[in-house]
Amino acid sequence: MSNEILLEAGTNEMELLVFRLGSTPFGINVAKVREIIQRPKTIVIPRSPLAVEGSFRLRERVLTLLNLGRYFTMESEKMRAGEGMIIVVEFNSITCGVLVDSVERIYRLHWDQIESPSQFLIRMSIPVTGVVKVADEIVQIADFETIVGTILGVQSATMLDTNSQEQTKEEFADARIILADDSHILRNNLESILRRAGFENLTICNDGQEVWDQIQRRKNEPNGPCDLVLTDIEMPRMDGLHLTRRIKEDTALKNIPVILFSSLITDDNRRKGQAVGADAQVSKPDSRQMIEYIREFLRKRFSRAAELSCATASE
């Protein structure tokens, strides 16, 4: 499977690979897929988590193979018999194989076709980030960041050192930050990181459309709708690239700093982020770099505001 990303930046489009566990269809963003291969011979890893099938060789590399059916307690007889397909995924600087029953096809969709998961799924902490109807079936989009992180024991974002908090609390106590991430698990983690760093004035959103609606409601406030936007890229309804483009193309909003914080900051996606005007792009799980960027942009924003205030007062 080609790694080339064909979609133009900021069009709010995505490519969804549909696969199955038994007869149940699931989906994954093609941007996270490196290739699809036949199930290879695997080597058992001693004392490994239940959902780890083993390890396998992919050309020059040895990769961990995760059994997604076992993780979801949906392992089929087909998988137990040694059959199935492998989706090789790559994100957050992690590459591994994911065992599924079958792989079907790729659909090109708009993010506004994808709905957020139900409150039941959210309350139950089911790792699904969205649902979409394709080919007359309801496809659940699996939260691979959470799934892989949970199985392999990899945190989605590292916590900050406590000695970095007080300066932020004093300097940016009133900074208005809008945070958007479609994964309720990662969203809660990010909110905790920001609050621990001293950023208390947070607006938490599920997707880019919710951010845009918040901005439009606050657009005419004296100091503008917010001081900074921190957003994931892949989200239902409106993705982070399209959200960034809309903000930067609006003359009243273009000076609001936008930071993309995503598992998909590859070279190709970095160019896309630059094309739509993102002020910075940080790959999960580098939360320390994220906090540094937030502080940097807020200092610049508040400094410009103070200069304008002084200039106005002196006239």
Chain centroid to Cα 103, Å, comes to: 23
CB-CB neighbours of 95 under 10 Å: 14
Mean pLDDT computed over 213-230: 94
pLDDT at 120: 84
pLDDT at 222: 87
Contacts of 244 (CB under 8 A, 6+ apart): 10, 229, 231, 258, 260, 273, 276, 277, 278
What DSSP string runs through 181-199? Answer: -S-HHHHHHHHHHHHHTT-
46-73 per-position pLDDT tens digit? 999 999 999 999 999 999 999 999 999 9
4-35 per-position pLDDT tens digit? 444 567 789 999 999 999 999 999 999 999 99
**Confidence class of residue 97 from pLDDT cuts 50, 70 and 90?**
very high
Instruction: Give the pTM.
Output: 0.81
282-308 per-position pLDDT tens digit? 988 788 899 999 999 999 988 887 676
Tell me if the bond preceding 285 is cis, omega within 30° of 0.
yes
Q: Which domains does the chain have, with CATH numbers?
A: 13-152 (2.40.50.180), 162-314 (3.40.50.2300)
Residue 165 or 239, more confident: 239
241 near 9, Cβ under 8 Å? yes
d(C-alpha 44, C-alpha 49), whole Å: 11
d(C-alpha 301, C-alpha 305), whole Å: 6
